[in-house]
Amino acid sequence: MTTAIKHRTISNTLCWWIIYYHDRICCIPTNVKVPPEIILGQFTEDQAKNGFTPTDRDGLNEYAVHFFKELYK
């Protein structure tokens, strides 16, 4: 996830979805329509620049773990 956030696309919304698409995690602007089942989380430009709070990071990690457990059942 960290690499995907670091290499995110440019967005005028200053907000991105973290998604799992074609066997990889990537980030896309929130104004792009995607199926909700592939969304792992959301973050803002401020979070990307200033860092995530431990609560935010734990929430993203927890959701990703749950997502992958369901995916590989």
Mean pLDDT of 27-48: 94
C-alpha to C-alpha distances, 9 to 12, 30, 65, 68, nearest whole angstrom: 10, 11, 24, 24
For residue 24, the SS3 value is strand
Q: What is the pTM of this model?
A: 0.84
**21-27-32 Cα angle (round to 5):** 85
Q: Would you state the structure tokens that stand for residue 45, as one six-digit string?
A: 């430009």
Sheet arrangement for strand 39-44: 24-29, 15-21, 39-44
Per-residue pLDDT tens for 10-35?
A: 999 999 999 999 999 999 999 999 99
